[in-house]
Amino acid sequence: MKLLSWLTIVSAFVLFDLFGYSKSFATFSPPDNYLIACGSSQNVTFQGRTFVPDLQHSSLTLKSVTSVVAVSNSSFPSPIYQSARIFSKVASYKFQIQQEGRHWIRLYFYPVPNSGQNLTSASITAVTDDFVLLNNFTFKNYKGSYLFKEYAVNVTSDSLTLSFIPSNNSVTFVNAIEVVSIPDGIFPDQAFSVNPRAPFSGLSELAFETVYRLNMGGPLITAQNDTLGRTWENDAKYLHVNSSAVTVTANPALINYPASVTPETAPNWVYATAKAMGNANVANMNFNITWVFSVNRNFSYFVRVHFCDIVSKALNNLVFNLYINDNSALDSFDLSSFTNALNVPYYRDFVSNSSLESNTLTVSVGPDMEADITNATMNGLEIIKISNEAKSLDGLSSVESLLPESLSKKSKIGIIIGSVAGAVAAFALSVFCYCCLVVRKSKTTHQGHPWLPLPLYGNSQTMTKVSTASQKSGTASFISLASSNLGRFFSFQEILDATNKFDENLLLGVGGFGRVYKGTLEDGTKVAVKRGNPRSEQGLAEFRTEIEMLSKLRHRHLVSLIGYCDERSEMILVYEYMANGPLRSHLYGTDLPPLSWKQRLEICIGAARGLHYLHTGAAQSIIHRDVKTTNILLDENFVAKVADFGLSKTGPALDQTHVSTAVKGSFGYLDPEYFRRQQLTEKSDVYSFGVVLMEVLCTRPALNPVLPREQVNIAEWAMTWQKKGMLDHIMDPNLVGKVNPASLKKFGETAEKCLAEHGVDRPSMGDVLWNLEYALQLEETSSALMEPEDNSTNHIPGIPLTPLEPFDNSVSIIDGGHSGTDDDAEDAATSAVFSQLVNPRGR
């Protein structure tokens, strides 16, 4: 059926391309239309357009000390990449601009073989007069064979200079360039920011880079079939849950453009296909269709969502919600009320950042709870990176820092004026700071640095201060946290001293809550200092939750909170320092030595102990809700500790089976049952931990959208191999031949049970811990061990029942009546169990 459906779509697209689409062509003739084949000696036809050699274009000037031409006889990957111009010094192309305004700048790169230069290692930096487009890119660690980049830059003069800068004594190169006018109105000056919810103005002064452009439910649309030369790809590989969506198609000729939307906004083939809610095999149909994208967390993104109701049979039947990350973008959105007809295109623009503590951006649509018909739809999606304060789309370097000699006379005058003004301002600021210091000293002469405990269970003694502005936004900041026995209050000055005024050289990482720095206290104690963003509502919620949770948790395998600071509207948490950082950094993405199989097992066991304590160690269970490899930290001895409790939630009461709550967490680790039903249980942590286990084994991210569709999600991919009994085929190559097969088998069985579709089929964290300890025992014994029997997951024959039995064979007994833990007792229990496994042949 799927094949037939796709054949129908493709056939329709071909007919549409031949007979129907030409109506929308030629509606816009760009005043500037440079299609340049760099280094070529003849015209090149690519996607229905003709590219002219760079030395034969009359309105184009190439400024270069030296350049070399490279030509490949191979047709791979396409004709546009068969030639390149190579520069050993800074070079530039100067384009004469007929009409000011936004222009596409499209760059093509392919390291042409047999060029006489090692272009794979060449460093590529590309800048315009004002913006950095690409900074120090090389193909060395790039997974693709060629690179295509699309930018939208506002040109405000009669020329545009595009410069290419080599670095590190390397060369740089480019295969082809497009500089093409964009119609007025395609990109607005203002969009709606989803966090905080407010208008975002000034977009016309910023540069854009296209990151994703999707045709929901439809085939690939190339530049040949788009009036503005854009490419639209199919959305399938970005869907979080395949079964959550079905493809809907309509006749493109029926798409009726209103005055506010044109074919330049998006081709009518985009509006003629859509994704709508499918059969996710759940009782509650109030689930969301979600797409997940990898982005750079240090940038903001312009998000355009395209809608066209080709689903409904009548008006006002389609009411749904739109979410970007965890933020509501459109509530109870009735598409008909804006289009007044079916088959009418409509779009909305937003500005957003990446999701909390991850390099992902998610877009979801879901039904309105009060709607008569349960459905939601989307036709197209564009995600575009916005330049940062350095006017860069790649890093923090500005054009001036990369091309200091390019400063114009005007910019030099500006610098002089700015320097004088800055000096005056600095002098005034110094006087003001001196006065403030005198006043402060007079007030604090008799005050020291008090030790204040953190609140226990968030009791009523916690005092808060709410400003007028905070009341309006629903936020508050702590000024005093008083309770019984935990935590130290740090003054802001102490934090500054510990982190050398937040020295960037001490930066350990960046998350959604804020930045984390390495610090050293007065007594020499190493700490990790997490500095939150006081303007973030989510940051405040994490700040509260982190303190409330860690105030009642102490365990060898949980990161300890040392203290906090809430002076000057700051939200700062001080933790014990974990010398070896997050688990993920030891798996991939760094040059750290690979972990042995035994080390990996011990780390997983430590994390499982921490989670088991969360689930069973307090009067009411605690669900972490964000278990992932970046939240498992390692100390100097590689002891694993679970960290980051900002999203944690108190578990269900004894008379409840779950906690109903909005979905939060990290995509790739999210329990699909929780995602669909918004019903949270301890088994949600178990699923996330199962993803961690596979990440530890395979050393690749939980989600990798650049891989083939079947490999994007590590849980799905790994389970395919696990069910074949061939998990060793996808394990870390560093482990091949170094793992006891019986240990690997037990590990795979454990992960498979954790990743069960339904929570009721998953083991408890106690069971997971028991099985991981068993896998470690198998690894530590001789290679002559018998493989574990199929029924060994829940009980090993021959071992007498012990007091562990009421906890489902868990190796850790924790009294729920108090918040303390007895690690010695836990370790003793573990030893008692495994003392009977020394000779497994006796089973």
Q: What is the pLDDT of residues 225-262, one digit of tens each?
A: 899 999 999 999 999 887 788 999 999 999 999 998 99
The predicted structure's pLDDT at residue 113: 85
The predicted structure's pLDDT at residue 434: 58
Residues with a catalytic annotation lie at 626
746 annotated ligand-binding residue? no
Beta bridge partners, 109, equal 147
- Inside any domain, residue 401: no
Percent pLDDT > 90 in the chain is 48
Each residue's pLDDT tens digit, 309-322: 999 988 888 899 99
List the structure tokens of 747. 């590990």
**Which residues fall within 8 angstroms of residue 596, CB to CB, at 6 or more apart?**
738
Each residue's pLDDT tens digit, 751-797: 999 999 999 999 999 999 999 999 999 998 844 444 444 444 433 33
Average pLDDT on 373-382 reads 92
The predicted structure's pLDDT at residue 326: 79
Average pLDDT on 712-727 reads 91
**Which residues fall within 8 angstroms of residue 302, CB to CB, at 6 or more apart?**
187, 191, 203, 208, 349, 350, 351, 382, 383, 384, 385, 386
Average pLDDT on 681-703 reads 94
Residues 522, 527, 533, 537: is their CA dihedral positive or negative? negative
Containing domain of residue 627, as a range?
Answer: 589-842
Domain count for the chain: 4
Closest C-alpha among 586, 634, 579, 584 to residue 610: 634
Query: What rounded mean pLDDT belongs to the chain?
Result: 79
- Inside any domain, residue 331: yes
Confidence of residue 709 (pLDDT cuts 50, 70, 90): confident
Secondary structure, 3-state, 494-534: HHHHHCCCCCHHHEEEECCCEEEEEEECCCCCEEEEEEECC
The predicted structure's pLDDT at residue 419: 58
Q: Which residue has the higher pLDDT, 618 or 684?
A: 684
Instruction: Answer yes or no: is pLDDT of 469 > 70.
Output: no
Do residues 775 and 645 share a domain?
yes
- Inside any domain, residue 156: yes
Do residues 228 and 316 share a domain?
yes
Q: Which of 160, 181, 202 is where one domain is finished?
A: 181
Do residues 653 and 516 share a domain?
no
Quick count: other Cβ atoms within 10 Å of Cβ 469? 9
| SS3 state at 220 | coil
Do residues 221 and 306 share a domain?
yes
Do residues 306 and 298 lie in contact, with contact meaning Cβ atoms separated by under 8 Å?
no
Do residues 564 and 596 share a domain?
no
CATH code for the domain of 812: 1.10.510.10
Do residues 642 and 707 lie in contact, with contact meaning Cβ atoms separated by under 8 Å?
no
- Inside any domain, residue 443: no
Burial of 549 (0-12, 13-18, 19+ CB in 10 A): buried
Each residue's pLDDT tens digit, 403-458: 865 444 344 445 455 555 666 566 666 656 555 554 454 444 333 333 333 332 23
Beta bridge partners, 486, equal 454
Q: Of the given ranges (198-212, 289-303, 445-459, 540-554), which has the lowest mean pLDDT?
A: 445-459
Q: pTM to 2 decimals?
A: 0.57
The predicted structure's pLDDT at residue 823: 43
Each residue's pLDDT tens digit, 134-165: 999 999 888 888 999 999 999 999 999 999 99
Residues 216, 222, 223, 227: is their CA dihedral positive or negative? negative
Q: Which residue has the higher pLDDT, 290 or 460?
A: 290
Instruction: Answer yes or no: is pLDDT of 659 > 90.
Output: no
Do residues 214 and 300 share a domain?
yes
Quick count: other Cβ atoms within 10 Å of Cβ 760? 10
Residues 210 and 148: their CA atoms lie apart, in Å, by: 10
| SS3 state at 172 | strand
Do residues 676 and 707 share a domain?
yes
Do residues 691 and 791 share a domain?
yes
Do residues 471 and 532 share a domain?
yes
Q: Which amino acid appears at position 93 of this protein? A: Y
Burial of 96 (0-12, 13-18, 19+ CB in 10 A): middle
Residues 86, 92, 96, 101: is their CA dihedral positive or negative? positive
The predicted structure's pLDDT at residue 117: 85
Q: Which of 351, 386, 421 is where one domain is finished?
A: 386
The predicted structure's pLDDT at residue 800: 35
The predicted structure's pLDDT at residue 49: 92
Do residues 602 and 747 share a domain?
yes
- Inside any domain, residue 19: yes
Do residues 322 and 207 share a domain?
yes
The predicted structure's pLDDT at residue 404: 64
- Inside any domain, residue 147: yes
List the structure tokens of 372. 């008569």
CATH code for the domain of 57: 2.60.120.430
Residues 227 and 221: their CA atoms lie apart, in Å, by: 11
- Inside any domain, residue 404: no
Instruction: Answer yes or no: is pLDDT of 23 > 60.
Output: no
Do residues 612 and 677 share a domain?
yes
Average pLDDT on 51-66 reads 88
Residues 301 and 306: their CA atoms lie apart, in Å, by: 16
Q: Which of 323, 357, 386 is where one domain is finished?
A: 386
- Inside any domain, residue 426: no
Each residue's pLDDT tens digit, 59-111: 889 998 778 898 877 666 788 999 999 999 999 999 999 999 999 999 999 99
Do residues 269 and 221 lie in contact, with contact meaning Cβ atoms separated by under 8 Å?
yes
The predicted structure's pLDDT at residue 512: 59
